[in-house]
Amino acid sequence: MRTIAIMNRVIKELLRDKRTLALMFLAPILILWLMSVIFTANSTTNVNVGTVAISSSVSTNLNQVKHVNVKHYQSTKTARKALKDDKIDAIIHKSGNDYTITHANTDSSKTSAVKMAFRSALVAANVKTMKTQLGAAKATINKLQKMLPVQAQQKLRAQSQGQVSASKQSASPKITNHYVYGDSSTGFFDKMLPILMGFFVFFFVFLISGMALLKERTSGTLSRLLATPVKRSEIVFGYMASYGILAVFQTILIVVATIWLLGVEVVGSVFNIIIINLILALVALAFGILLSTFANSEFQMMQFIPLVVIPQVFFSGIIPMDSMASWIKDISYVIPIKYSGDAVTGIMMQGKNLTSFGLDIGVLLIFLVVLTILNVVGLKRYRKV
């Protein structure tokens, strides 16, 4: 079988290229580890807020909000200077009954943190005022009650006690959080991981297989290969088999590393994830081989990265698609990583079965078949039969 002979040769070549192997297997783990550190370590931002002419209750409450420091300023002028000098991130100024907040707005997360903190502080202050008012009202009611006849007093007391106990229950609702997937530390990284995993498989298989076929072409081995009775399809299938095997190992390594090293929870079956990534790898391979025919050198192959690989990230689902214009959403339907990302996310986070991703797998298989046919036909450029 020539296909197997080609597969053996490609694998042998890859195994002897230690640097490329290291790139395929160690680089994804390094990047994943870095990302997990970056995206999970410090998700809170500390903000400094300057206040001018703010009631003490509001400013105390503001100070009590976590990660917020409050500084008082006598006038707007000094506060503005502090803002300019980057000492504070926002100024809250009260004139009459209205509040004016001036944000430095150099960091959007800080801006929203200030907004949130101020709102909650204001609510807390309002509640406090209401409480004191309520207390005063109660005292008045008690006074009035004492003036009433004894029978009516008892009746009222019983009623108000019931009310008090009821209001006690509703006064401080206890909030308990339940997480379907992961725990309170589950963050952005966990959402990205299934897509990133696909991206690594896609990126490395695309690049390395494209380069490999390009080298076959420029070194003349491809035309020599085609001067033997080998079928064009046997060459393409030989490459698919070898890079398919490579992708299986790469996926296993990435999955194991993410589970053991990064402590990410995989609800579904690891086997299913491997299947999806294997199909994705074959799509990437067919894509890489196809595009390598349009490149005349390794450098030209690299030029496909910003054109082909990077857009995959944008439309893969890492950036929420809901907010995008509908025509942009349509682009994502031709992005292979979107389908693998959807499927792997479902398997990893919701423990779904392969069968529930029939559509995603189907689309990936269509990509695969079309690209493979294009490749087999495309080799006709180098031999007419």
Distance of alpha carbon 18 from alpha carbon 180, whole angstroms? 42
Residue 297 contacts by C-beta under 8 Å, 6 or more apart in sequence?
Answer: 214, 218
Q: Which is nearer to another protein, 67 or 224 (CB)?
A: 224
Interhelix angle 232-260/18-40, nearest 10 degrees: 40
Q: Which is nearer to another protein, 128 or 231 (CB)?
A: 231
User: Residue 142: in which H helix or E strand, if any?
Assistant: helix 108-147
Q: Which is nearer to another protein, 81 or 215 (CB)?
A: 215
Query: Distance of CA 51 to CAs 16, 67, 125, 299, 321, Å?
Result: 66, 16, 15, 57, 39
* 98-103 and 47-52 beta bridge pairing: unpaired
Are 215 and 239 in contact by the 8 Å Cβ rule? The answer is no
Q: Which is nearer to another protein, 222 or 247 (CB)?
A: 222
Task: Tell me the two tokens of residue 97.
Answer: 């009954």
Which amino acid makes up residue 153?
Q
Shortest distance, CB of residue 236 to another protein, whole angstroms?
A: 14
Q: Which is nearer to another protein, 89 or 216 (CB)?
A: 216
Shortest distance, CB of residue 203 to another protein, whole angstroms?
A: 23
Shortest distance, CB of residue 240 to another protein, whole angstroms?
A: 17
Q: What is the sign, positive or negative, of the torsion defined by CA atoms of 314, 315, 317, 323?
A: positive
Shortest distance, CB of residue 305 to another protein, whole angstroms?
A: 24
Contacting positions for another protein (CB under 8 A): 2, 5-6, 9, 12-13, 16-17, 219-221, 223-231, 382-385
User: Residue 361: in which H helix or E strand, if any?
Assistant: helix 358-378
Q: Which is nearer to another protein, 332 or 375 (CB)?
A: 375
Shortest distance, CB of residue 379 to another protein, whole angstroms?
A: 11
Shortest distance, CB of residue 215 to another protein, whole angstroms?
A: 9
Q: What is the sign, positive or negative, of the torsion defined by CA atoms of 60, 61, 65, 71?
A: negative
Shortest distance, CB of residue 384 to another protein, whole angstroms?
A: 4
Are 202 and 296 in contact by the 8 Å Cβ rule? The answer is no
* 68-73 and 90-95 beta bridge pairing: unpaired
Which amino acid makes up residue 21?
L
Q: Which is nearer to another protein, 144 or 377 (CB)?
A: 377
Shortest distance, CB of residue 17 to another protein, whole angstroms?
A: 7
* 90-95 and 98-103 beta bridge pairing: antiparallel
Q: Which is nearer to another protein, 160 or 293 (CB)?
A: 293
